[in-house]
Structure 1
Amino acid sequence: MSAILSTNPQLRPMRHEDLDEIMVVELSAYPYPWTEGIFRDCMRVGYSCWVMTEAQRLVGYGVMSMAVGECHVLNLCVRPECQGRGYGRILLRGLLDHARRHKVETAFLEVRPSNTPAVQLYYSEGFNEVGLRKRYYPADNGREDALVLARDITG
């Protein structure tokens, strides 16, 4: 964490009325963002969808699927102007705590190798590389591989 948070960020379930603000953040944070329809589908099928707010402002969100003792972090995003302040770590820990309460034992995620801050966050939180998905992500020059990371969250 490069700065101390001034107030206590709160996690709460994502609501449909959050989607306009989520899309503002998503479009500003990623060159290949999710669509609003993807977020709607995730909520519709019952994925674990959360937003992080601080002082009534949406600063981040996460989407995670859970099944048969495993969870998969599908999207973890912090508003670009709020990155580097520890929000991503708090959000990731919140998602994993939620998964743990649902008896999940192992967490998985994919990350672009070029996303150095995210890779560093995940490694510092105990994730390890367990695979590589070739040409998984769209990229300016074709496709980019994805690191597949996993972590035991029982302890």
Structure 2
Amino acid sequence: MAFRIEPMTPADIVRCVELEQMLFPEDNPWVAVAFQSELSWAYNRYIIARDADGSVVGYAGIALLGDAAHPEAEVRNIGVDPDCHRAGIGTLLLEALLVEADRRGGPVFLEVRTDNAPAIALYDKHGFHIIGVRKDYYHPSGADAYTMRRPALSSVDRKWCAGKSDEVLS
């Protein structure tokens, strides 16, 4: 099945909230106002994945932080409809976020539940490494999170990323 990656719009928020409630019921799933707030900041980029029918089946966001001399990025969230797990949507979303981060340079950070083995494996495959543990990070469940970091790409790799399409996240 083919999926399209597109910028998230306010019209997509209702579906993203539904997915949040399915995916993270024990950890304060984001509500509409949280997505609206994230979309309002110029340094954030949010994307969605649509299936062939046009339904939103996944979403992801990244914050592009720092300045030109000291850029860094933070993956805010990635969520995929449970009915579509293992279809490569999470990979597509993460890779789109990383292209955006790599255009600016700098390391990329994220937090992930310590018991989320599939997500940890995805992040590891894309060059992230565990650099710490945040105890009781998720609430109200009290689950711990790993902080993971992917180092900045070399200047050669950044030149390659600069040539990638601007259509998805711009």
> Which consecutive segments of 4 or more residues in structure 1 shift more than 3 A?
none
Extract unaligned runs of 5+ from structure 1. 1-5
CA distance, structure 1, for counterparts of residue 99 and residue 106 of structure 2 = 11
Aligned to 1:57: 55
Aligned to 2:85: 83
Aligned to 1:20: 14
Question: How many corresponding residue pairs?
Answer: 146
Match of 2:98 among 76, 96, 99: 96
CA distance, structure 1, for counterparts of residue 152 and residue 81 of structure 2 = 26
Larger % of strand: which? Answer: 1
1:5-44 correspondence runs (5 A):
6-7=1-2, 9-31=3-25, 32=27, 33-44=29-40
CA distance, structure 1, for counterparts of residue 119 and residue 152 of structure 2 = 19
Deviation track 1:45-70 (CA, whole Å, cap 9, x = no partner) reads 22111111121121111111111211
1:61–1:77 contact (8 Å) kept in structure 2: yes
TM-score (normalised: structure 2): 0.81
CA distance, structure 2, for counterparts of residue 135 and residue 24 of structure 1 = 25
TM-score (normalised: structure 1): 0.88
Aligned to 2:107: 106
Aligned to 1:137: 138
Letter in 1 for 2:57: V
Aligned to 1:151: 150
CA distance, structure 2, for counterparts of residue 138 and residue 70 of structure 1 = 26
Report deviation, 1:135.
1.3
Letter in 2 for 1:87: I
Deviation track 1:71-125 (CA, whole Å, cap 9, x = no partner) reads 1001111111101111101110011011222x13211000001111111111121
CA distance, structure 1, for counterparts of residue 18 and residue 105 of structure 2 = 31
Name the SS of the counterpart of 1:119 in structure 2.
helix
Letter in 2 for 1:90: L
How well do the aligned residues superpose, as a CA RMSD in angstroms?
Answer: 1.3
Aligned to 1:127: 128
Give aligned-pair identity as a percent.
32
CA distance, structure 2, for counterparts of residue 52 and residue 13 of structure 1 = 9
